[in-house]
Amino acid sequence: MLGRSAFGLGSWNTWDRMAFGDAVRLLRTAVDAGVTLFDVAHYDFGPHAENSRTDLIFGEAVRTAGIAREEYVLCGKLWLWDYPRRGFAEQLETSLGRIGTEHADLVVVGDYRDRPDIPRVVTEVAEQVRAGRIGGWGVNNWLAADLDLALDFAGREGLPGPEFAQLKYSIARRAMAEGEPYRKHFASGRLALQASDVFEGGVLLGNPAPSRKIGADVGGIRESIVAASPELASIAADFGATRAQLALAFCLAYEPVANVLFGVSRLEQLTDNLGALLLVRQHGKEIRAALAHLCLDCNTTPTSPR
The residue ranges of every structural domain in the chain are: 2-294
More confident residue, 16 or 191: 191
Among 5, 12, 3, smallest CA distance to 30 is for: 5
Helix axes 20-32, 54-64, angle to 10 degrees: 60
pLDDT at 80: 94
- Measure the CA dihedral 28/30/32/38, to 10°: -90
CATH superfamily of 2-294: NADP-dependent oxidoreductase domain (3.20.20.100)
- Average of per-residue pLDDT across 103-122: 94
Q: How confident is the model at residue 306 (pLDDT cuts 50, 70, 90)?
A: very low
User: What are the start-end ranges of the E strands in 146-191?
Assistant: 164-168
The mean predicted confidence, pLDDT, of the chain is 91
Q: Which of 132, 133, 70 is nearest to 97 (CA)?
A: 133
The whole-number pLDDT of residue 95 equals: 95
Separation of CA 226 from chain center:
22
Tens of pLDDT along 133-145?
999 999 998 988 9
Q: What is the mean pLDDT of residues 255-267?
A: 94
